[in-house]
Amino acid sequence: MEPLFGVVLGLILAVASPAHDSCTCATNKWAVCAQDGPGNCTCRLAGSDHPLDCSTLTSKCFLMKAEMNPLKEKRLWRPPHGVSDSDGIYNPDCEDSGAFKARQCNQSSSCWCVNTAGVRRTEKGGRSLSCSELVRTRWIYIELTHKRGSSAFGAPDVAKALTQLFESRYKLRPKYIAAIKYDPPLIQIRLDQSKKPRWDVDIADVAYYFEKDVNNDSVFPSNSQLSVSVNGDALAIEKLWIYYVDEKPPEFCMRQLAAGISAVVTVVVLTAGVGIAVLLILRWLHTRTYKKFESKEMREIKASSLE
């Protein structure tokens, strides 16, 4: 009887083990997952009570909030580098949908307005600052370079490889990839998404995941690191720049521009003043020399007339 019981117990454990191991999030390594019941796995981020849909990308707002709330259980967590008060990583306020709230504030009661990518688009103000709407980021320009040691590839092959990457890894439909241009070693990518249906990923989330991958700080599990190849040859990405273009222009005030113009005008005026002063000094020296020469000549003429 005991051997039979041991066999049955082993079969139960063998069946239960894969089910337990499968309770992970395929698109987010920071997710904490637990089984609520047979075949039901629920994943959440630290600092958030909202369940995650691990079949697609996690919103950028939730990701940034998770980065500002380190996990205290099961793993060590390295805080992000280069935390900035105004740009980069901050602790955002998110809607239940995962979207950024139009107005963001920090602990010092300084507030600003952001776009759908969470990027600041106004000057900072106080708690009285009003942000009437969350302006959509319609275009995202991505520029990257590959290592010069890598071979130059054909432009169509690069475009095909990156399109497949964005579609398979980031769930972005090819229709949102407006253009990919290749001028070795520079690669330019333009993502265009004027409207986003609920079932599609947001290009801001795609750009954030891609940036994390390139910077070796992937949001995906550790066994799913970024690997890009063109016709079997590795495309070693070296540098990355991302630019956001909103449906409406940013609302930065003219103070910084005015300060820059004032500085330029001051430099021009000072340069002109120094130039005029140098010219006056040279003219005075020339006049003085001429008068000395003229006086000497007159004395010589008078002396010769007396003789």
| Residue ranges covered by each domain of the chain | 31-68+88-252
Average pLDDT over residues 24-30: 88
Give Cα 221 distance to the centre of its chain: 21
Amino acid letter, residue 164: Q
Pairing of strands 40-44, 103-105: unpaired
In eight-state DSSP terms, residue 57 is P
- 133-179 pLDDT, tens digit per residue, is 999 999 999 999 998 766 678 999 999 999 999 999 999 999 999 99
User: Of all residues in the chain, what percent carry a pLDDT higher than 70?
Assistant: 73
**Angular region, 115: left φ>0, alpha ψ -120 to 50, beta rest:** beta
* Dist. CA 32–CA 265, nearest whole Å: 57
- The DSSP result for 101-112, as a single string, is PSEEE-TTS-EE
Q: With beta carbons less than 8 A apart as the criterion, state whether 193 and 176 touch.
A: yes
169-222 confidence digits (pLDDT tens): 999 999 999 999 998 889 999 999 988 888 999 999 999 999 999 999 899 987
C-beta separation of 206 from 117 below 8 A: no
Comparing CA positions, the residue from 3, 95, 9, 43 lying closest to residue 219 is 43
pTM over 0.85: no
pLDDT at residue 274 in the model: 78
Most confident of 4-18, 54-68, 204-218, 264-278: 204-218
Q: Which residues, 6+ apart, have CB-to-CB distance to 269 below 8 Å?
A: none
Q: d(Cα 17, Cα 14) in Å, to the nearest integer?
A: 5
**Averaged pLDDT of the chain:** 78
Q: Is 40 left (phi over 0), alpha (psi -120 to 50) or beta?
A: beta
Q: Which two tokens stand for residue 100?
A: 């950024």
44 pLDDT above the threshold of 70: yes
Phi-psi region of 98 (alpha: psi -120 to 50; beta: other; left: phi over 0): left
For 94-117, what is each residue's pLDDT tens digit? 999 999 999 999 887 899 999 999
Two structure tokens written together for 35? 């089984």
pLDDT (tens digit, 9 = 90+) per residue, 46-71? 667 788 999 999 999 988 888 876 54
